[in-house]
């Protein structure tokens, strides 16, 4: 029996067998099983198929598509952190925010961010006028930024970009999202707050190297609500070291008790993010990657079977009070879904996004570029008046249609061919040989239903949409 099948057989007998167990156990679905076992991440990554794409062509493509888009997604990545979590692969600058020497680092990071954004404005002339749909400050832990630096950063963005219709979202860390800092964010115009709790169990929080408690997560939530933030999103992870199915059940009960407006429930991913080109690309191995899936401090990682039991518990508890859109992102049925995800993934939008900062990823439907992930090289590029782009890839006309379809699948909304035809000058997704062939496979495997002009994921398809997107859309044989 394979290692992947053994992992799938790791089941908590106190809970039902996961719905996808039978599907993943079949020999004909071995590629899907191996994909999910190897823990690859790629659900929101739709890379181009043309390597070595010239930077000037990338900027021309961005300029053309930004002009045509109703809105864009703009985000700023601030890589500062007090410590490095055990699962983290992202580019970070670790510092003690109270140290005098750190103040110079904060100033430098903001200077770099502003310089990079200024260079983007020169490289893409229409960017200054483009309507920003949502502006996000991500991390790292941007809530470590001292007030003067955050004000300076926001003054720049507001004065140089079109924020006339923008919603503003800020990502922090529970211990740093104090009442005073939340009040500052409110004053600056932010209406959305997000932070990672990872779990509501202090044993699990400590195991993943986080330096906050579950109580501090709840306190940050209540403080945000008291100050007037109705939109607060909390990130939870399942599949972590020492985590049981019971632990995830507790997290879901706590989610309902707290009446969270938005919650992200994602599977732990230990595959190298650099290979998968995530939204913020990885820089180096995480602590857990270095140690592998071995027993650590008398704790084990749950197997694949338990992970899918955890995923089904998330669905059981959150639906129908919440809706899932896109995959892993849950919003209360009386609240709106993640705006920025909709802007870049929904079939009727799929607008460009521009990312400023270390390791950021910018793209439109025709091309993409990913930033340098090492801070020293990132600074060197800016010092030499070069945008810190490490790689650019183009997207062929055939692949643009495939990517559009895959992005639409990831939203979990039925994919409508009439809408697709509007996007592609009357061309049906059935006309695309890759999509057509894949749909035949997906229907045969009962992962989607296809009725007239609409493709809808089945329950198994919703659970396995990541694997579907990254294993089954293969180039047709000649």
Token pair in block for residue 93 = 């600058």
How far apart, in whole angstroms, are the C-alpha atoms of residue 4 and residue 362?
Answer: 34
Q: Which pLDDT value is given to residue 266?
A: 93
Q: Which pLDDT value is given to residue 416?
A: 97
Which whole-number Å values give the CA distances from 16 to 12, 241, 407, in the listed order?
8, 22, 31
User: What are the backbone angles phi and psi of residue 331, rounded to the nearest 5°?
Assistant: -130, 145
Q: Which pLDDT value is given to residue 104?
A: 97
Q: What is the dihedral sign for C-alpha 205, 208, 209, 210?
A: negative
How far apart, in whole angstroms, are the C-alpha atoms of residue 403 and residue 256?
Answer: 35
Q: Which pLDDT value is given to residue 63?
A: 98
> Architecture of domain 55-345 in CATH?
Alpha-Beta Horseshoe (3.80)
Q: Which pLDDT value is given to residue 43?
A: 66
Which whole-number Å values give the CA distances from 30 to 26, 27, 223, 269, 311, in the listed order?
7, 5, 48, 19, 20
DSSP 88: -
User: What are the backbone angles phi and psi of residue 379, rounded to the nearest 5°?
Assistant: -65, -40
pLDDT averaged per 10 residues in sequence order, the chain, 478 residues? 94 97 97 88 78 97 97 97 91 93 97 98 97 96 97 98 98 96 98 97 95 97 97 96 97 97 92 72 82 81 97 95 96 95 96 96 96 95 97 96 96 97 96 96 97 96 94 67
Q: Are 308 and 37 in contact (CB under 8 A)?
A: no
Q: Which pLDDT value is given to residue 286?
A: 86
Please tell me the total number of residues recorded for the chain in this structure: 478
Q: Are 113 and 76 in contact (CB under 8 A)?
A: yes
Quick one: which H or E segment has residue 360? Answer: none
Give the end-to-end CA distance of the chain in Å, rounded to a whole number: 34
How far apart, in whole angstroms, are the C-alpha atoms of residue 35 and residue 171?
Answer: 30
Long-range contacts of the stretch 297-303 (C-beta < 8 A, 24+): 297/207, 299/207, 299/241, 299/242, 300/241, 300/242, 301/239, 301/240, 301/241, 301/268, 302/10, 302/239, 302/243, 302/244, 302/245, 303/6, 303/7, 303/8, 303/9, 303/10, 303/11
Q: Are 347 and 431 in contact (CB under 8 A)?
A: no
Q: Which pLDDT value is given to residue 476?
A: 53
DSSP 114: H
Quick one: which H or E segment has residue 198? Answer: strand 192-198
* Burial bucket for residue 73 (CB in 10 Å: 0-12, 13-18, 19+): buried
* Burial bucket for residue 32 (CB in 10 Å: 0-12, 13-18, 19+): buried
pTM, entire model:
0.95
Q: Which pLDDT value is given to residue 283?
A: 77
Q: Which pLDDT value is given to residue 477?
A: 47
- Could you read off the pLDDT of 419-450 as tens digits, one per residue? 999 999 999 999 999 999 999 999 999 999 99
How far apart, in whole angstroms, are the C-alpha atoms of residue 206 and residue 45?
Answer: 30
Which whole-number Å values give the CA distances from 180 to 2, 102, 149, 183, 224, in the listed order?
54, 20, 15, 5, 10
Domain boundaries, the chain: 3-37, 55-345
């Amino acid at each position: 029996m394979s290692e992947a099948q053994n992992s799938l057989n790791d089941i908590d007998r106190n809970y039902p067998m996961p719905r996808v167990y039978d599907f993943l156990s079949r020999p004909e679905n071995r590629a899907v099983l191996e994909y999910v076992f190897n823990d690859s991440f790629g659900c929101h990554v739709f890379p181009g198929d043309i390597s070595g794409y010239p930077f000037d062509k990338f900027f021309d493509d961005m300029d053309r598509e930004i002009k045509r888009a109703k809105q864009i997604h703009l985000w700023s990545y601030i890589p500062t952190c007090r410590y490095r979590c055990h699962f983290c692969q992202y580019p970070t600058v670790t510092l003690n925010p109270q140290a005098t020497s750190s103040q110079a680092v904060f100033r430098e990071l903001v200077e770099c961010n502003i310089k990079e954004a200024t260079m983007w404005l020169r490289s893409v002339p229409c960017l200054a006028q483009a309507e920003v749909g949502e502006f996000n400050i991500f991390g790292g832990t941007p809530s470590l930024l001292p007030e003067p630096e955050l004000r300076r950063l926001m003054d720049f963005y507001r004065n140089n970009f079109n924020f006339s219709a923008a919603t503003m979202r800020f990502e922090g860390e529970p211990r740093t999202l104090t009442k005073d800092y939340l009040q500052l964010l409110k004053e600056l115009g932010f209406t959305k707050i997000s932070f990672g709790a990872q779990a509501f169990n202090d044993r699990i929080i400590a195991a993943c190297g986080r330096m906050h408690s579950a109580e501090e997560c709840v306190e940050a939530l209540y403080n945000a609500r008291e100050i007037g933030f109705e939109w607060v999103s909390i990130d939870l992870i399942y599949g972590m070291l020492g985590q049981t199915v019971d632990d995830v059940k507790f997290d879901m009960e706590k989610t309902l008790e707290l009446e969270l407006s938005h919650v992200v429930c994602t599977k732990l991913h230990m595959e190298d993010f650099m290979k998968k080109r995530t939204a913020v690309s990885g820089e180096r191995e995480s602590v857990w990657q270095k140690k592998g899936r071995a027993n650590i401090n008398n704790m084990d990682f749950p197997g694949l079977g338990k992970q899918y039991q955890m995923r089904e518990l998330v669905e059981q508890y959150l639906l129908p009070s919440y809706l899932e859109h896109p995959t892993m992102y849950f919003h209360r049925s009386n609240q709106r879904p993640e705006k920025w995800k909709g802007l870049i993934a929904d079939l009727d939008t799929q607008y460009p996004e521009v990312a400023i900062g270390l390791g950021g990823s910018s793209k439109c439907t025709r091309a993409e570029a990913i930033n340098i992930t090492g801070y020293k090289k990132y600074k060197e590029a800016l010092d030499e008046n070069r945008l810190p782009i490490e790689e650019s890839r183009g997207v062929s006309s055939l692949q643009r249609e495939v990517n559009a379809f895959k992005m639409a699948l990831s939203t979990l909304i039925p994919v409508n061919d009439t809408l697709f035809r509007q996007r592609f000058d009357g061309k049906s997704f059935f006309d695309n040989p890759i999509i057509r062939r894949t749909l035949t496979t997906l229907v045969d495997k009962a992962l989607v239903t296809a009725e007239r002009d609409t493709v809808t994921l089945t329950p198994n398809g919703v659970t396995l949409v990541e694997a579907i997107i990254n294993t089954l859309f293969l180039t047709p044989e000649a």
